[in-house]
């Protein structure tokens, strides 16, 4: 496997959906290619950092306006039944 092929298979590899033979080939390449190892490692960290980032909070005033709008829609809907 060469560097270009590693990049093409990177998403499947990081998602754990690469078949076992391909994964073994890729990992053999990683063992001897520092550049690809760094790209794989930093791409994995990119995903982890976003996954672990603080969730955007839902402000209470925004939530209240949503539920008021829904309540209005429920009432209008009930009148038409």
Partner 1 sequence: MVLCQNSPAGRLCPPIGAPRLLSATDPKPLASTIVRDDEAKLVSAAKAGDAAAFEELVNRYERKIFRLGMNITQNREDAEDVMQEAFLKSYTNLDRFQGDSRFYTWLVRIAVNEALMKLRKRRPNQVSLDEPLNDGEDPVFREIEDWGPSPEQKFAQTELNDILNSVIGELDPIFRVAFLLRDVEGISTEETAQILGISEAAVKSRLLRARLKLRQKLNKYFRRSEPQ
Return residues touching partner 1 (CB under 8 A): 3, 7-8, 10-12, 14-15, 35, 38-39, 41-43, 45-47, 49-59, 62-63, 65-67, 69-71, 73-75, 77-78, 81
- The smaller minimum CB distance to partner 1, of residues 24 and 71, is found at 71
Distance separating alpha carbons of residues 48 and 54, to the nearest angstrom = 12
Q: In the bound complex, what is the minimum distance in angstroms from residue 78's beta carbon to partner 1? A: 5
Q: In the bound complex, what is the minimum distance in angstroms from residue 35's beta carbon to partner 1? A: 5
């Amino acid at each position: 496997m060469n560097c270009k092929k590693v990049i093409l298979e990177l998403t499947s590899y990081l998602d754990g959906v690469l078949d076992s033979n391909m994964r073994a080939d890729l990992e053999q390449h990683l063992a001897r290619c520092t550049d690809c190892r760094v790209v794989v490692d930093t791409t994995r960290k990119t995903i982890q950092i976003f996954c672990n980032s603080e969730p955007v909070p839902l402000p209470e005033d925004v939530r209240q306006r949503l539920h008021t709008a829904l309540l209005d829609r429920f009432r209008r809907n009930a009148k038409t039944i």
